[in-house]
Amino acid sequence: MKIFFWQNINSIHQSTFFREFSKLSNWDVTLVVTEKIKPFRIEMGWSVPTIPNLKIKDISDNSNSFSDIIQNNARAIHVFSAINGFKTINLALNLAVKKDCKIGIFSESYDYRGFKGKMRYLRGFYHYYKYDKSINFILSTGSIAKNQFTKFGFNENKIYEWAYSVEPSSNFIPQEKNQVIQFCYAGSLIHRKGVDTLLEAIKILNNKKLNFECHLYCLKSKEELQQPLLSDFKNLKNIHFYEFLPNSELRSKISKHDCFILPSRHDGWGAVINEALAEGIKVIVSSKCGSSTLVNDGNGHVLNKVAKEDIVEKMTAIIQDGPLNSYQRNLIQKSYEAKVSGKVLAHYMDSILSHTFFTTIKSKPKTPWTES
């Protein structure tokens, strides 16, 4: 059967899923892309992935062609990224509703912070009344998004916790332990990412004379080192700042650390947590990140609050545990691959579709990383 995935970009954090899902013989898979990758993503090391066997329709230069795709494939399944998240995708969603298509929604959690956040919250209830009868299933990234859609009124039986996935590691697991605990962070120097709080926590740990190093891949250019946020840290011997790297190079760097830290005040997902676990290292991640749902079985810690005291506590625990050995790294990596690999997600999607549309699977499929 034909299935169309409508996304704003061809993302490196979906490529392994699409590669594996397009291999399944019972699905004719097309990815519809409505936008070019934005320059700031390219600055951060993103690129357009190549995905064999996947049909890709790039309509970024002809956005009105969405209508032809829906009209000519009204009996297919259409999975749309977000409700009202992207203009062209939302136009396609509304047309699919009119055509009575089979519809799925893929959505990250909403950011409720500030006035706009309150408007998003209220709009969620409006979306329920407008679309509930037309939507067959919802793929919500993480438990946060799942709980939000449940609160809006959508039937829990058609809401599935979903995840991003990343390419398998191409790096060798280090055989020797680090002499000193190595932390790392990769991402923008924006308030939402919580880097300011991480740096305050590092200052406290340094005052306690704890032995560690922290490497932050966060600069668009070296000139950013002059900004006030970094002024107290740029000359410390155990804190290092680097420019953004291409994704494959960043993955190689991550693999040599012991723990990745993502203290975001909000992140719809936070795929760098996938990348860290896929490289076999522990993580410290905020509960405000969708990817916090992946933390289990001793692979890291969840920050219940984005506060310097909480970060200090979790980083101290990692320091006290000591550097990872190759056995621990392999365990983290294999656990991740068994629960969140592209192949696992592909078969999970197949089960969701079979349960929703064909009843070949009677009971609701379980979330591989939390319920299996």
* Confidence at residue 91, expressed as pLDDT on a 0 to 100 scale: 97
* Confidence at residue 324, expressed as pLDDT on a 0 to 100 scale: 97
**Strand ordering across the sheet containing 300-303:** 239-243, 212-219, 181-186, 259-262, 282-286, 300-303
pLDDT at 186 over 70: yes
What is the average per-residue pLDDT within 189-202? 95
* Confidence at residue 372, expressed as pLDDT on a 0 to 100 scale: 58
SS (H, E, C) 219-281: ECCHHHHHCHHHCCCCCCCCEEEEECCCHHHHHHHHCCCCEEEECCCCECCCCHHHHHHHCCC
CB 250 within 8 A of CB 267: no
Which of 167-181, 231-245, 347-361 is the least confident region? 231-245
pLDDT at 347 over 80: yes
CB 166 within 8 A of CB 271: yes
Identify the band that residue 4 occupies on the pLDDT scale cut at 50, 70 and 90: very high
Contact residues for 77 (Cβ-Cβ < 8 A; gap 6+): 1, 2, 3, 4, 101, 102, 103, 104, 353, 357
Q: Which amino acid is at 152?
A: F
What is the average per-residue pLDDT within 50-65? 91
Determine whether 85 is exposed, middle or buried from the number of CB atoms within 10 Å of its CB (0-12, 13-18, 19+): middle
Identify the band that residue 279 occupies on the pLDDT scale cut at 50, 70 and 90: very high
Each residue's pLDDT tens digit, 89-122: 999 999 999 999 999 999 999 999 999 999 999 9
The C-alpha angle 38, 117, 97, rounded to 5 degrees, equals: 70
* Confidence at residue 274, expressed as pLDDT on a 0 to 100 scale: 97
Residues of the chain with CATH 3.40.50.2000: 2-165+341-358, 181-337
Each residue's pLDDT tens digit, 217-269: 999 888 888 888 888 887 888 999 999 999 999 999 999 999 999 999 999 99
Establish how many alpha carbons lie within 13 A of residue 95's alpha carbon, considering only the half-sphere containing its beta carbon: 19
What is the average per-residue pLDDT within 46-62? 89
Could you give the percent of the chain with pLDDT greater than 90? 84
CATH of domain 181-337: 3.40.50.2000
Strand partners, 157: none
pLDDT at 46 over 80: no
pLDDT at 359 over 80: no
pLDDT at 300 over 80: yes
What sign results for the dihedral spanned by CA atoms 138, 142, 143, 147? negative
Cα–Cα separations (whole angstroms), residue 41 to 1, 45, 172, 246, 263: 34, 7, 27, 10, 20
Picking from 82, 81, 138, the residue whose alpha carbon sits closest to that of residue 110 is 82
Instruction: State the average pLDDT for the chain.
Output: 94
Establish how many alpha carbons lie within 13 A of residue 298's alpha carbon, considering only the half-sphere containing its beta carbon: 10
Answer with the residue of higher pLDDT: 202 or 41: 202
What is the average per-residue pLDDT within 165-180? 93
Q: CB neighbours (10 Å) of residue 243?
A: 14
Q: How far apart are CA 295 and CA 150, in angstroms?
A: 22
CATH topology of domain 2-165+341-358: Rossmann fold (3.40.50)
Could you give phi then psi for residue 195, rounded to 5 degrees? -65, -35
The C-alpha angle 146, 152, 158, rounded to 5 degrees, equals: 50
Burial 302-337 (b: 16+ CB within 10 A, else e): bbeebebebbbebbbebbeeebbeeebbebbbebbb
* Confidence at residue 207, expressed as pLDDT on a 0 to 100 scale: 92
pLDDT at 45 over 80: no
Start-to-end CA span in the chain (Å): 28
Contact residues for 360 (Cβ-Cβ < 8 A; gap 6+): 354
What is the average per-residue pLDDT within 285-304? 95
Could you give the percent of the chain with pLDDT greater than 70? 100
Q: How far apart are CA 83 and CA 62, in angstroms?
A: 21
Which of 43-57, 117-131, 162-176 is the least confident region? 43-57
CB 42 within 8 A of CB 12: no
Identify the band that residue 139 occupies on the pLDDT scale cut at 50, 70 and 90: very high
Identify the band that residue 355 occupies on the pLDDT scale cut at 50, 70 and 90: very high
Q: Tell me the pTM.
A: 0.93
Q: How far apart are CA 313 and CA 179, in angstroms?
A: 21
